[in-house]
Structure 1
Amino acid sequence: MHTTSLTWRPLTHDDAQAAADLLNAMETVDRIGENYTAQDTLQELVDPYADLARASLAVFDGDVMVGYMKIRYKRFAEEVHRVFLDGGVHPGHRRRGIGTVLVEAGVAAANTLHALHHPRLRLAIDVHKAGHIAGLAELLAPRGFAPVRHFQHLEHPLGAALPEPVIPGGLRIERWSEDNDEDFRVTRNKAYADSWGSAPSPVDNWKNKIANHTLRPEASFLLRDAADGTAVGVLVANHWEADAAVTGVRDVHFMVVGTIPAYRNRGAAGALIGHALRAAAEHGFDRASVNADSASPAGASGIFTEAGFTSKRRYVRWALEA
């Protein structure tokens, strides 16, 4: 390994611009459709469930960040505590052993956080990456990681005429606002309770990951039971300006889409998706996108395919399970 001339230390909040530069350099080769500003990476660095001091590592060649890893743990977990190991290496520094050091440091850090937060549960360390990224299997498989789930990234162009969405009888729809934000979060937690690998989203996590500077209120909707006002379905849309600046395409990403179990199979999810597509088009977005679990018991991929989405990329969830 040629790592002796490099500087290794934990990530800090001051690394936002360096991290954005690294991720944007990775995008030029990996082509996963993700571009970053310093504000975007700062949002990840201030994540309340990213313990940077104990569970992150950044690699510098002079002032340039050339690699990183960070662990994200969960506040709530049952039976299995699934933590996320995220990271990457600058294209110009790959195949030099940096990725190996980062993965091994990530596994050690995951065990540290697991012992602190959920020591009585089983630990699973997840890595979520696009399936086409070169060298990923060679890096992860020898260290005990195995593919456990596949996801699809689907897209829907918004230039063509979109049908008028039909709201199922007995339901009403409303846009996101500060006043109903908590209803969005609670409904998301109920809708995702039976989703693989999911855990309830606490308020601080919701504010950091969902209701942040990328949220698009004009394309985010809540369905309620018209009789008693119960929130029964939710769709949250987000948008990253950095992507539009690089690609020229204004993409609205459906970050959260779900219906509580008692209201499934009534057309609620389709109504939310149709409403959000129309709203996004009316507000000048060129495309909608979503990530869906290929094996979702709710048939997520089918719902989006029926709405006109087509699959563009495959993601693999790798896991090291104790």
Structure 2
Amino acid sequence: MHTLDLPPGLTSRPLSEDDARAVYEVMAAQEQADLGTVEIEEADIVADWGRPSFEVAASTVGVFDGDRLVGYAEVTAADRGDAAVDPRHRGRGIGTALALWMQDAARARGSTVIGMPVPEGSSGDLLLAALGYRVRWTSWVLKLPPGATIVDRPLPEGYVLREARPEEYPAVHTVAEDAFLEWSVRDREPYDDFMAQITGRPGFAPWQLRLVADAAGDVVGMAHLTLAITEDGSPPEAYVARLAVRRDQRHQGLAQALMVDAFRVGREHGAESSCLSTDSRTGALGLYEKVGMEVTSVWVNRAIDL
């Protein structure tokens, strides 16, 4: 494994589940500096690291100034990682060292490419560009502003939209993975990994997993939303983490119905606004703008061949 070339006084080690809070704090500080807001939640990290296939110690590294985490990186999948550096420690070469670690870690797993998302024009974006990373795709974070009108989107006759029942979770997983794998080049996500990010996510409640069933009772669409509880006491925000419709059931308004349902149930549970992210591979940006969402930040996924 690549040895990090760090400034004097800094150390590194693999991370453990107990470091999730420290990683959240570094990522939140970086987002605050780059975006003026914080999108990440500690629950996101806990759920992602809770996937049975993910070995935290083998997939992460942390950079420390004494006992304080000031930078971290992880390889989350065959071709993707994430990293963050405390803004107070920028310009010291930590980001470059973490990028090289990610490359080496991915290469050791047999990967031929590694990439990560960064806010467009941010310090991380500029660093990766200077290191030779290309843009693979563009992502947008969209929000439905507080007080925005939620326009009803009726379902076709015979269809129902409701909370998913536990016995239907495997069918929900199938619909989601079939849809996402139409444009995402990756292995199929195991069911247990999928559920670790839903039912295993801190704060999960059954109402957060939604489905559309047809007249025969088959699951043909799904949405998963979370409720982001802010640490400053401001109202929570609903985040639509996944939304998918079976290929043969599209162009009937099911996706829009799932979207506005997520907005509605989010408000019922205290959210003043709703948000989601989408990228240029899906072609779904127009769908979300049609239901009143507005782009609030732009991200790029930069990658390098190994």
- TM-score when normalising by structure 1: 0.85
**Which of 14, 35, 39 in structure 2 is aligned with 1:34?**
39
Distance 1:164 1:219 in 2: 19
Question: 1:216 Cα shift?
Answer: 4.9
Does the aligned pair in 2 maintain the 1:146–1:320 contact within 8 Å? Answer: yes
Query: 2:208 and 2:189 mapped to 1: Cα distance?
Result: 21
- Name 2:236's counterpart in structure 1: 250
Structure 2: gaps of 5 or more residues: none
In the other structure, the counterpart of 1:188 is 176
- Does the 8 Å CA contact 1:152/1:312 hold for their aligned counterparts? yes
CA–CA distance in structure 1, aligned partners of residues 233 and 183 of structure 2: 32
CA shift in 2, pair 1:246/1:96, >3 Å: same
Residue of structure 2 in register with 1:263 after alignment = 249
Per the alignment, residue 81 of structure 2 pairs with 85
Does 1:98 find its partner at 2:76?
no
Tell me by how many angstroms 1:56 deviates.
2.0
Residue 53 of structure 1, CA deviation: 3.4
| Aligned residues of 1:159 and 1:281 also touching (Cα < 8 A) | no
CA deviations over 1:31-76 (Å, ceiling 9, x no partner): 3522544x55433444434433333211110110011111112xxx
> Are 2:19 and 1:12 equivalent residues in the alignment?
no
Matched, 1:312 2:300: no
Give the match's secondary structure for 1:43.
helix
Among 277, 283, 287, the alignment partner of 1:291 is: 277
- 2: distance between equivalents of 1:89 and 1:72? 17
Q: Per-residue deviation at 1:287?
A: 0.8
Once residues 269 and 66 of structure 1 are traced to their aligned partners in structure 2, the CA distance between those partners, rounded to angstroms, is: 41
The alpha carbon displacement at 1:270 in A equals: 1.2
Counterpart in 2 of 1:123?
112
- Between the aligned partners of 2:288 and 2:198, the Cα distance in structure 1 is 20
Give the deviation of 1:292 after TM superposition.
Answer: 1.1
Secondary structure of 1:239's counterpart equals strand
AA partner of residue 284 (structure 1): G
The aligned length equals 300
Report the Cα distance in structure 2 between the residues aligned to 1:69 and 1:261, rounded to whole angstroms: 36
Q: State whether residues 5 and 61 of structure 1, in contact with CA within 8 Å, keep that contact through their aligned partners in structure 2.
A: yes
Q: Which position in structure 2 is the counterpart of 1:302?
A: 286
Report SS of the residue matched to 1:273.
helix
Label 1:34 to 1:186 Cα distance change in 2 as closer, same or farther (>3 A): same
SS in 1 for 2:225: strand
Question: 3-state SS of the aligned residue for 2:251?
Answer: coil
Is the contact between residue 172 and residue 211 of structure 2 (CA under 8 Å) also seen in structure 1? Answer: yes
Task: Give, in whole Å, the separation in 2 of the partners of 1:203 and 1:2.
Answer: 39
Q: Give TM-score, length-normalised by structure 2.
A: 0.89
Aligned to 1:234: 222
